[in-house]
């Protein structure tokens, strides 16, 4: 049984929505964000990447960064760029990226249900990133970046959402990356009751993207509850901002790897070592390899692509974590052959979202900064849910969701 709650969203004026909407805080470097927002005072990057308005090189966790974010949000409100809806609303958010389309409900989800694992996780969080989001929420007194949730598709919810999108949207624009964003505001009390009742029949929600934001929302709730002698459970801090999509509309791209060196081996020795667990096929020069099925990998080394196929018996097909391609690569190659035992902390490995293509892997290796790259087949949403249902944890950097949710289209204020 899942609770979804309407809320009084803080959102941009209709004519400024496209200028306000910005990428999530964690997909851009400070330098990229500074350049993107340079000539746009309305950009929400001033709120979710506020270091761009301070001296270059400032520690991202400096208290002045959070204070600047709060100041910038207040400025957008005072200037009338953003306003708060007078009554609680639901919102519907549609994204179209090429031939892919996804439509989700924007709502508040229950922190208590997150604590009780009705909202299921599949990743560990990093303490410093979690602390960062706690401080950001506390300073702004708001949740500004929605958590990306999914659920097993439901015909009744599909029908209700389809009713909304027959009406004219509040916002409709295409961002610089070619993704179309369409946004509806729903105030009809009958529809609100119906969508809440439909979600009451859903067994569980799953965090797709936003583990640090959801964990931070829980910590803020626990802190404010402890400080509030009149806590009722209805305060806004008991809920967190989410966009919820059905599982059959989710698009997961590959999440690829680049590695600094061959761990002291020459190419021939390295190739010989990996043949213990993989069938290795060298492709003709100039031909790339992008995996088309699970348990196959592309490898780019010294200007040439190879196809790697995991041999049967080298992994446990019945274990939802160990059968993941990211696990197979880690356990059979990155760890034992290349000596990368902890990919979370090892500086010899980096991760490249599939949205950047195989060309980015070639560019990194050809630059001489990295020695080799691996292209993976995307993790499936069914695997993600199976792991969360089993109470297990995915390896780091297992999933790359596209398109990304824009920040700034609606904010959840905690007052």
- The predicted-structure confidence for 53-86, as pLDDT tens digits, reads as follows 999 999 999 999 999 999 999 999 999 999 999 9
8 A C-beta contact, residue 151 and residue 236: no
**Is 20 in contact with 82 (CB distance < 8 Å)?**
yes
Question: Which of 239, 293, 307 has the alpha carbon at shortest distance from 90?
Answer: 239
Which of 254, 274, 372, 255 lies closest to 314, judged by CA? 274
Residue pair 85/8 in contact by the 8 Å Cβ criterion: yes
Q: Provide the 3-class DSSP secondary structure of residue 414.
A: coil
Query: Residue ranges of the domains in the chain?
Result: 4-252+402-413, 255-377
Average pLDDT, the chain: 96
Q: In the CATH scheme, what is the code of domain 255-377?
A: 3.30.1760
Between strands 119-120 and 205-209, the pairing is: parallel
Place 344 in a pLDDT band, splitting at 50, 70 and 90.
confident
Residue pLDDT, tens place only, 5-44: 999 999 999 999 999 999 999 888 999 999 999 999 999 9
Task: Give pLDDT, residue 27.
Answer: 86
Predicted local confidence at residue 345, as pLDDT: 85
Q: Decide: helix, strand or coil at residue 34.
A: helix
pLDDT tier at 396, thresholds 50, 70, 90: confident
Instruction: Read off the pLDDT of residues 99-142 as tens digits, 9 standing for 90 and up.
Output: 999 999 999 999 999 999 999 999 888 889 999 999 999 999 99
Strand order in the sheet with 255-259: 278-282, 304-310, 296-301, 372-375, 255-259, 349-353
- Please answer whether residues 156 and 198 qualify as being in contact, where contact means their C-beta atoms are separated by less than 8 angstroms: yes
Phi, psi for residue 255 in degrees, rounded to 5: -125, 105
Summarize pLDDT for 196-211 with one digit per residue, the tens.
999 999 999 999 999 9
Instruction: Please state the length of the chain.
Output: 415
Query: Cβ distance 47 to 74 under 8 Å?
Result: no
Q: Which pairs with CB-CB distance under 8 Å and at least 24 residues apart come from 190-199?
A: 191/90, 191/160, 191/163, 191/164, 192/6, 192/88, 192/90, 194/160, 195/4, 195/90, 195/105, 195/157, 195/160, 196/3, 196/4, 196/5, 198/154, 198/156, 198/157, 198/160, 199/2, 199/3, 199/4, 199/157
């Amino acid at each position: 049984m899942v609770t979804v709650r309407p809320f009084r969203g803080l959102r941009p004026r209709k004519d400024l929505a496209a200028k306000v909407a910005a990428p999530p805080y964690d997909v851009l470097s400070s330098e990229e964000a500074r350049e993107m927002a340079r000539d746009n005072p309305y950009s929400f990057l001033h709120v979710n990447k506020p270091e761009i308005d301070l001296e270059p090189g400032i520690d991202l966790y400096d208290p002045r960064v959070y204070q600047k974010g709060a100041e910038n949000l207040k400025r957008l409100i005072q200037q009338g760029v953003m306003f708060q809806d007078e009554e609680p609303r639901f919102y519907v958010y549609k994204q179209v990226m090429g031939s892919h389309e996804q439509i989700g409900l924007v709502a508040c989800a229950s922190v208590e249900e997150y604590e009780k694992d009705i909202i299921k996780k599949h990743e560990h969080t990093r303490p410093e990133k979690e602390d960062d989001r706690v401080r950001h929420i506390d300073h702004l007194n708001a949740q500004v970046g929605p958590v990306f949730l999914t659920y097993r598709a439901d015909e009744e919810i599909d029908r209700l959402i389809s009713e909304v999108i027959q009406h004219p949207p509040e916002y409709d624009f295409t961002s610089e990356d070619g993704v179309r964003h369409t946004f509806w505001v729903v105030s009809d009390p009958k529809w609100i009751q119906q969508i809440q009742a439909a979600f009451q029949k859903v067994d569980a929600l799953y965090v797709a993207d936003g583990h640090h934001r959801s964990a931070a929302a829980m910590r803020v709730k626990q802190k404010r509850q402890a400080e509030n002698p009149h806590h009722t459970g209805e305060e806004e801090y008991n809920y967190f901002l989410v966009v919820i999509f059905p599982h059959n509309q989710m698009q997961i791209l590959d999440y690829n790897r680049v590695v600094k060196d061959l761990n002291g081996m020459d190419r021939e020795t390295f190739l010989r070592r990996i043949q213990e667990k993989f069938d290795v096929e060298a492709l003709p020069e100039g031909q790339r390899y992008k995996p088309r099925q699970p348990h196959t990998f592309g490898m780019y080394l010294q200007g040439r692509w190879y196809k790697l196929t995991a041999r049967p018996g080298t992994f446990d097909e019945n274990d939802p974590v160990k059968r993941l391609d990211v696990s197979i690569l880690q356990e059979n190659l990155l760890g034992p052959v290349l000596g990368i035992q902890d990919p979370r902390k090892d500086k010899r490995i980096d991760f490249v979202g599939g949205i950047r293509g195989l060309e980015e892997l070639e560019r990194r290796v050809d630059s001489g900064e990295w020695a080799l790259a691996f292209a993976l087949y995307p993790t499936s949403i069914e695997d993600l849910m199976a792991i969360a249902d089993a109470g297990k944890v995915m390896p780091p950097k297992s999933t790359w969701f596209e398109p990304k949710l824009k920040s700034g289209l609606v904010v959840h204020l905690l007052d």
